[in-house]
Amino acid sequence: MATQGQVITCKAAVAWEPNKPLVIEDVQVAPPQAGEVRIKILFTALCHTDAYTWGGKDPEGLFPCILGHEAAGIVESVGEGVTEVQPGDHVIPCYQAECRECKFCKSGKTNLCGKVRGATGVGVMMNDKKSRFSINGKPLYHFMGTSTFSQYTVVHDVSVAKIDPQAPLDKVCLLGCGVPTGLGAVWNTAKVEPGSIVAIFGLGTVGLAVAEGAKAAGASRVIGIDIDNKKFDTAKKFGVTEFINPKDHDKPIQQVIVDLTDGGVDYSFECIGNVSVMRAALECCHKGWGTSVIVGVAASGQEISTRPFQLVTGRVWKGTAFGGFKSRSQVPWLVEKYMKKEIKVDEYITHSMSLGEINEAFHLMHEGGCLRCVLKMYD
């Protein structure tokens, strides 16, 4: 049955309130307006940022909403003026847009895009500042401009990457967030050189992707730091060469690392979202040049601090969003790298479940054994 131009009723996991179980509901998804694309989502993974917003820690969190931002699907229909994708195209929704026209996109200095960020930050679409999701007329907010915990979603055309139709969607959905973030933090943001000493705080998917990126960049030592000893065996497979558990030491972790590395590391990455660890990650960097990249997302109200002397003496503090990758241009390139077996993806998938099991999937995420759980949207 043709669905173009029609409202589609489908299943979605609705976050009615922070921290309350998600509810699988029949939601109405309006047709795409000008510059919009309606996507049939086939697979979505869970990212810790979904849990963070659901947990009420996101100052931009709005409820009720449909969370989810690491997914893959097929274009169902497009609105007026959409030229770069058409129904049937295989796509990855991109929470970080790329319009190629705005001040940010044209700067050549950042992957951030300003075109739709104002709307996505308040859970609506640009055109009419309204949501395309509703239940019996009651609107639900969009999330990160993607809302992939729904069998159908509507996104801005600047937030869609068209990918190789041969790519397995149950795998490459991961290229919508965590894996590119870690790889890009190393390759684009830090620009790690061969021979560098690297420290990674937090060995979840993002930290492991940092390790993979650091190994590919030719780092000589990749020091993984995690409070969970079970992480080390997995981490070795992604390129971590040494493991430190801060709980095994009396000294502050930054001092432990400085002592082990003749004055500090060349690059460090915080992949947890803990502001005390962010400080340690900066302070374990080598005087004169060490660079620390903040990747983790910290809760509302949290702030970072250090002695300014740390920066006066040459350490550099940076952050990264989506690993600095330009989404529409570079996600297809990452998919090709995966297809050529140049980057890992399958190895990050520890669990597969169905949309109806989403609450259990979030539960699993908080256990050490889960990296990424991929949800199948249709049984």
Ligand X SMILES: N[C@@H](CCC(=O)N[C@@H](CSC=O)C(=O)NCC(=O)O)C(=O)O
Give the contacts of 312 (CB within 8 A, at least 6 positions apart): none
Determine whether 55 is exposed, middle or buried from the number of CB atoms within 10 Å of its CB (0-12, 13-18, 19+): middle
The residues in 176-215 that bind Zn ion, with binding defined as CB under 5 A, are 177
Closest contact distance (angstroms) between CB of 249 and Zn ion is 31
H-type alpha helices, 149-295: 169-172, 178-184, 205-216, 231-238, 253-260, 275-283
Is there a catalytic annotation at residue 70? yes
DSSP string, 264-278: -BSEEEE-S--HHHH
Q: Does 59 help bind ligand X (rule: CB under 6 A)?
A: yes
- Measured CA to CA, the distance from residue 189 to residue 295 in angstroms comes to 10
Number of residues located near ligand NAI, criterion CB under 6 A? 31
Tell me which residue of 377, 305, 361, 327 sits closest to 51, measured CA to CA.
361
Q: Which does 58 bind (CB under 5 to 8 A by kind): ligand NAI, ligand X, Zn ion, none?
A: ligand X
- Asked about 105 being catalytic, the answer comes back as yes
Distance (Å, rounded) from C-alpha 149 to C-alpha 135?
15
> Which residue, chain included where needed, has tokens 């020091």?
223
User: Is 172 exposed, middle or buried, given 0-12, 13-18 or 19+ CB atoms closer than 10 A?
Assistant: buried
Distance CA 23, CA 63 (A): 13
227 contact, one of ligand NAI, Zn ion, ligand X, none, CB 5-8 Å limit per kind: ligand NAI
Active site residue 49: yes
Among ligand X, Zn ion, ligand NAI, none, residue 105 binds (CB under 5-8 Å by kind) = Zn ion
173 lines the binding site for Zn ion (CB under 5 A) = no
Is residue 140 a contact residue for ligand NAI (CB under 6 A)?
no
Segment contacting ligand NAI (CB under 6 A): 84-92, 157-165, 269-277, 327-335? 269-277
Q: Which stretch binds ligand NAI (CB under 6 A): 18-26, 36-44, 116-124, 290-298?
A: 290-298
How far is the C-alpha of 209 from the C-alpha of 298, rounded, in Å?
19
Interacting partner of 30 out of ligand X, ligand NAI, Zn ion, none (Cβ under 5 to 8 A depending on kind): none
| Contact window for ligand X (CB under 6 A) among 52-60, 214-222, 278-286, 326-334 | 52-60
Reading phi first (left if > 0) and then psi (alpha if -120 to 50, else beta), residue 116 is in alpha
102 binds, among ligand NAI, ligand X, Zn ion, none (CB under 5 to 8 A by kind): Zn ion
* CA–CA separation, 370 and 347 (whole Å): 11
Q: Which is nearer to ligand X, 49 or 330 (CB)?
A: 49
Q: Would you name the residues annotated as active-site residues? A: 47-49, 69-70, 99, 102, 105, 113, 117, 177, 372
* Residues at the interface with ligand NAI (CB under 6 A): 47-49, 52, 177-178, 181, 201-207, 225-228, 231, 246, 271-274, 277, 295-297, 320-322
Query: Could you list the residues that contact Zn ion (CB under 5 A)?
Result: 47, 49, 99, 102, 105, 113, 115, 177
